[in-house]
């Protein structure tokens, strides 16, 4: 009988295989602890603290009259303002007031429309707490000035002022630990499966030789 034929004759008892793998629970646990520890170490070394603040404005358009035709669409304006928030016209004004470079301000600013609304959420996020504080204080006044003076549009209504500065890690330690533990368990289970199959193959091969 060829080796291929012997492999084809191998019958896998799933219950027996599960019992074998579960019997290695100590090694699985050790693997989880080791990899979770590695994940914790990685998060501590690679993670950097970032500081953020959020604020929201409501975008309005002028009321229409018999003599004036308003072509602005509020939804389109929200999208436009989201793209405008880190443009030179905004960052240049903030840079003058804060003495922070335009490049750093561009990196710190972002904005997005809240789905189905006229609300624009502006976010300031950087690794420097003082920069985040300074930019957060200036972004709304500058934004409103640019919208009304430079663009000639209606003034957006501030519905949420800059939130308290929030400190957060760039890499979640908790998630990294959980991922490490899952990975450690998966590796040990895979090794146990390979060992089980190797032993089963040898056993089947031995029985075939004896019968032959």
For 73-120, the pLDDT digits (tens) are 778 888 899 999 999 999 999 999 899 999 999 999 999 999 888 999
Average pLDDT over residues 188-205: 86
- Position of tokens 């219950």? 15
Report, in this order, helix, strand and coil percent for the chain, each rounded to 5: 60, 15, 25
Neighbours of 3 (CB within 10 A): 10
Q: Which of 51, 56, 65 is nearest to 158 (CA)?
A: 56
- Position of tokens 């504080």? 133
Question: Residue 158: phi, psi to the nearest 5?
Answer: -80, 115
Residue 167 has pLDDT above 70, yes or no: yes
User: Of 142 and 62, which is predicted with more confidence?
Assistant: 142
- The pTM for the full model equals 0.63
- Position of tokens 């300031």? 124
What is the pLDDT confidence band of residue 10, given thresholds at 50, 70 and 90? low
Q: What angle do CA 29, 33, 36 make, to 5 degrees?
A: 135
Q: Which of 53, 186, 55, 57 is nearest to 132 (CA)?
A: 53
């Amino acid at each position: 009988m060829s080796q291929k034929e012997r492999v084809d004759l191998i019958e896998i008892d799933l219950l027996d295989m599960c019992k074998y793998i579960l019997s290695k629970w100590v090694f699985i646990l050790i693997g989880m602890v080791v990899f979770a520890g590695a994940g914790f170490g990685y998060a501590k070394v690679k993670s950097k603290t970032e500081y953020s603040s959020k604020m929201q404005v409501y975008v309005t358009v002028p009321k229409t009259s018999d003599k004036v035709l308003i072509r602005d669409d509020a939804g389109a304006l929200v999208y436009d303002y989201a793209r405008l928030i880190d443009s030179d016209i905004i960052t240049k004004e903030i840079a003058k007031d804060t003495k922070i470079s335009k490049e750093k301000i561009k990196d710190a600013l972002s904005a997005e429309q809240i789905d189905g609304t006229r609300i624009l959420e502006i976010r300031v996020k950087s690794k420097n707490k003082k920069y985040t504080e300074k930019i957060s204080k200036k972004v709304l006044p500058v934004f409103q000035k640019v919208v009304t003076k430079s663009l000639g549009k209606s003034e957006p209504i501030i519905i949420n002022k800059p939130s308290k500065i929030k400190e957060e890690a760039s890499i979640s330690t908790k998630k990294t630990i959980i991922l490490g533990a899952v990975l450690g368990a998966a590796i040990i289970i895979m090794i146990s499966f390979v060992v089980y199959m190797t032993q089963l193959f040898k056993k089947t091969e031995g029985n075939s030789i004896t019968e032959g």
